[in-house]
Structures are given as C-alpha cells and as structure tokens.
Amino acid sequence: MKKTGLLHAELSQVIAAMGHGDVLVIGDAGLPVPAGVRRIDLALMQGVPTVAQVLQAVLGELQVEHALLAQESLGQNGDDGDTLPEWYLQQGVLLPAAPTIVTHAELKRRSQQACAVIRTGEYTPYANIGLVSGVVF
C-alpha cells in the first residue's frame, strides 16, 4: 500500500504518464467530458470533493508549467469581476504566478486534447482548470 501522497490509483497513473505540455483538466460537476477523453469521476455528492481539494492533491504530484482558467470564473468572489476565484487563490503558492485566461468555450475545446478530465462534486459555476505539465529539470 502506498504510504503518502496521492492514493487514487487511476489519477496517480495518469499523472505519472504525463509529459511536458500535456494537459490535465479538473472540472466542476457539470463540465462536459469530451468523447474519447479519459474521465476520472471523483464526484461523490454536491460539494464533495471540491475543486480546491482535488487541485491541492494534484499539485502535490504534478509539476505545472501554467494553468488555464476561464474568463467566466473571474469575479466569483462577489467583486468587480477581475479577481481570480477563491478556490484558485487557495492554491496560489503552488501554482504559476498568473494563469492563462481563456473563454469557457476555449477551455472546453482544449479539454478535447487532455490526458484526462477529473470530475469533482463542485457546484460553483465555471470552477474548472486546465493544468499544463512542466518538467522538473
């Protein structure tokens, strides 16, 4: 039995197989998973697990070069619309300084080429992130 880190076997295998530039998407409960893309369904019930929880676990294992966020996710904190969502800010120290902002439609288009899409129990609209794999050297 594995002692530490990510315990989910399927998710751990996907991350171990990723190369530089590959994309892993973490999505809310409603994000469509394109046909032919591997789905890792972690959704247990509304809010379980959250995108923030899954993101934290993945960031402990994956070297991220940059992240992709949907423009529509900005301003979810009840502010002026330019602030990164709280679930992203919670992991900011582990993520690249600034995410690449794309439209939600573009994020869904890019998910067609993802290694996998992880479905969470998150019910926050547009709580989706694409993680582009970096290298550790």
Active site residues: 20
- State the Cα–Cα distance between residues 89 and 33, nearest whole angstrom: 25
- State the Cα–Cα distance between residues 6 and 78, nearest whole angstrom: 33
| Helix intervals (H) in 1-137 | 9-17, 51-59, 86-89, 104-110
User: 49 preceded by cis ω (within 30°)?
Assistant: yes
Nearest to 29 by CA among 90, 118, 132, 131: 118
Query: DSSP character for 48?
Result: B
Contacts for 8 with CB less than 8 Å, ≥ 6 apart: 40, 42, 57
